[in-house]
Amino acid sequence: MLRGIDVLVFDIQDIGTRYYTYISTMGLAMQAAAARRIRFVVLDRPNPLGGNYVSGFVLEPELASFVGQYPIPIVHGLTVGELARMIKGERWLPDLDALDLEVVPLQGWRRFMRWHELQRPWVATSPNIPSFEAALVYPGMGIVGETEVNEGRGTLMPFSLFGAPWLDGGRLAERLNVLPLAGVRFAPSEFTPRSVAGVALNPRFEGQRIAGVRIVVTDAASFEPLETGMHVLAALFAEARAKRMAEPVANMAMFHALSGTKRLYRMLASGSSGAEIIAAWSEEVARFRAQRAQYLLY
């Protein structure tokens, strides 16, 4: 495929979350370019979540996969150009020493900026990320989607809804609304997931009217999506225990892969609160912030 190619250009809008796989594709393309001695150019793009928000467990090596290639937190706060520099500089993938890497930097972007501050229209980055709101809530709700709930797939609001036949949406919304979470409120909701060709072919609980909760972002600048997702998970596990559900996780392997650690499941299963889970990753996030400093462009 690369025969006769002089330059391989990466010009793709990422959404700033480790398990959104465009950054895995970028790394594989970097390896392919290095092997063929082809210059690799990244046309940098803004991180929609901003460059200051860094959060989540750092990926543990034994859980590396296509949904987690690099030892970075779930929310890394890097542009794709900065990440490419870090992948090469930290030798996170083999055989990149000889890669001719060029990053064409952004103009006018600052680390504090989230997408809504750019005053630019959102172009769907993938079928289930049709809006900035979907991208904003995705870091937390992507993991929630691996439990026995529907996370809004098969609706017009992917990742801003979650529900299941076994949930009491009103009670769950009340539980979440008393938490001191900035920029968000929770509203009871009912919805019916539908099969949507090319978007959500067989969504969980397809065709069933289910009770759940809508995540309403009231301030996109202060909202912390991953922290919100941890509180949602803790509430879901508490509800599952109250209902004597045998196992609230639908796909354990994928749950661990997205989490990047098995600690998250162990903490949830033992009854840890969202706040306790968030505190558990603080030291590794601090180490990552120091590690990434030399690769920042903005």
For the chain, counts of helices (H) and of strands (E):
9, 6
How far is Cα 80 from Cα 125, in angstroms, rounded to an integer?
A: 14
What's the pLDDT score for residue 51?
Answer: 98
Question: What DSSP assignment string belongs to 185-241?
Answer: EEEEEEE----BTTTBSS-TTTT--EEEEEEEES-TTT--HHHHHHHHHHHHHHHHH
What's the pLDDT score for residue 117?
Answer: 97
Residue the block writes with tokens 């529907």? 150
What's the pLDDT score for residue 246?
Answer: 92
pLDDT tens readout for residues 2-15: 999 999 999 999 99
How far is Cα 80 from Cα 47, in angstroms, rounded to an integer?
A: 8
Domains and CATH numbers, the chain: 7-120+284-295 (3.40.50.12170), 132-279 (3.90.1150.140)
As averages over each run of 10 residues, the pLDDT of the chain (298 residues) reads 96 98 98 97 98 98 98 98 98 97 97 96 97 98 98 96 97 97 98 95 96 98 98 98 95 98 98 98 98 98
Comparing CA positions, the residue from 77, 104, 91 lying closest to residue 9 is 104
How far is Cα 235 from Cα 192, in angstroms, rounded to an integer?
A: 22
What's the pLDDT score for residue 237?
Answer: 98
Q: CB 201: neighbour CB atoms within 10 A?
A: 11
